[in-house]
Structure formats: C-alpha cells, structure tokens
Chain A
C-alpha cells in the first residue's frame, strides 16, 4: 500500500468552477502537509503549507487537513485557465527530512 494516495485524474473543469483535489495517507507520523503546483517541464511550486488540522486560506486556495481521517484537500475557487497544471500533495514527519508525494492530479481549466 502506498503511503500517500492521490487520484491522478485527469480532471477537466470549466473556467470559474470550484475544484477539489484530495489525498489520503496511511502514515500517522505525517504532521506537515503541503500542496505543490507543477507546470509542464517545470519544478514543483509550493502553494500551501499546513501543520494542524483545519482550514488554511490563501486567496482562491483553501487547504484542509483532517488528521483523524488521514485526509487532506485543496480547494480552488473561481478556477482560471492559468490554474491548469499538475497538483501534488506532499507530507512530512515531524522528525524527518524527506517529503513523501502523491502521484499528482492533472487539472485542466477550460476557458
């Protein structure tokens, strides 16, 4: 069983839609949770970074963490064509250094 599961998609939505991206995990030692955006042929770009359970909002992006269910989500409001990319969830243990990634969800926002 993979430590982090992420629906690979692809996901296609119309411009303006609300997008929900999700990851589940099995390792209860994960305490830090991140969402990265990766455009084609580029490196992952850090979007959201959370520690505790609950919601964190930044502009059109909201990250949600539910440690009791081992489930994290990223919501994108008013999605734009420029949001078209692959979204990667990543997690880290408190004492560790490595990030463990999901496989990424490919998102296309159609104008």
Chain B
C-alpha cells in the first residue's frame, strides 16, 4: 500500500496525558500537512512540514501542540496535557515536490478520544 499511512487509527487518552500521532507520507512525497476535523465541522489546517522543517504552523494552537518531520521516520503530531476539547479526527496529507497546485492525498486519520 503506497498511500498515506497513519497510526494509530484510534487513540484513547485521559485528561492530562500526552498523545502522539504518526504519519508516513506516500512514497516519493516530501511534504506533510496535518488537519483536524472536529465533530460536525469541516477539516481545518494545522501545520505544513517538509523534512526537518516547519514551513507553516499558523493553524496550530499556540500551546500544547507541536509537530515534527525528522530526516528519518514518520511525521509526529504531539499533543501534551490533552483536554476534552482535543477529541477529534486528525488527518495527515502529503504531496510531492512543491510545484504549484500539487494535490494533497490524505490518510484515514487518527481518531483521538479524551476521557
């Protein structure tokens, strides 16, 4: 399967714990994007990364959220000290080398539930 791979598919955390969501882009893709889908809402952009660089994090909450895309391995979205409002589906997308208009392809998401 050469698609965008996200894991885990489902994650349950208690308030105050940390959540780590992982994303492996499509083969040949070096650009990764994270989006959040809250219940009854559309997808909202969070962050755009290339290998070892955060390019645009204007959609990320200022506190508790961070993202990385290391030279080796998957991209990680990290949420510290989770709260009930963090419950959502988190989707990762990837695209090829940045030419104008390269489409983004999505994974099946990680559904985060906060108890």
Contacts and interface: CB of A to CB of B under 8 A. Distances in A.
B106 interface: yes
Contacts of A49: 101, 103
A9 to B, nearest CB: 13
Given A32-B101, A49-B103, A98-B33, A43 B108 contact: yes
B101 A46 contact: no
Interface stretch (A55-63, A67-75, A100-108): A100-108
Interface in B1-20: 4, 6
Contacts, number: 62
B48 A97 contact: yes
Contacts of B111: 41
Contacts of A44: 43, 91, 106
A103 B101 contact: no
Contacts of B31: 97
Interface size band for A: 20 to 34
Interface in A35-55: 36, 41-46, 49, 51
A43 B56 contact: no
A94 B33 CA distance: 17
**Interface hub of A46, A98, A100 (most chain B Cβ within 10 A):** A98
Interface string B95-115: 000101101111111010000
Interface in A85-99: 88, 90, 92, 94, 96-99
Nearest to A50: B101
B105 to A, nearest CB: 6
A91 to B, nearest CB: 12
Contacts of B58: 98
Interface string B42-66: 1111001000000110110000000
Interface of B: 4, 6, 31, 33, 35, 41-45, 48, 55-56, 58-59, 91, 93, 98, 100-101, 103-109, 111
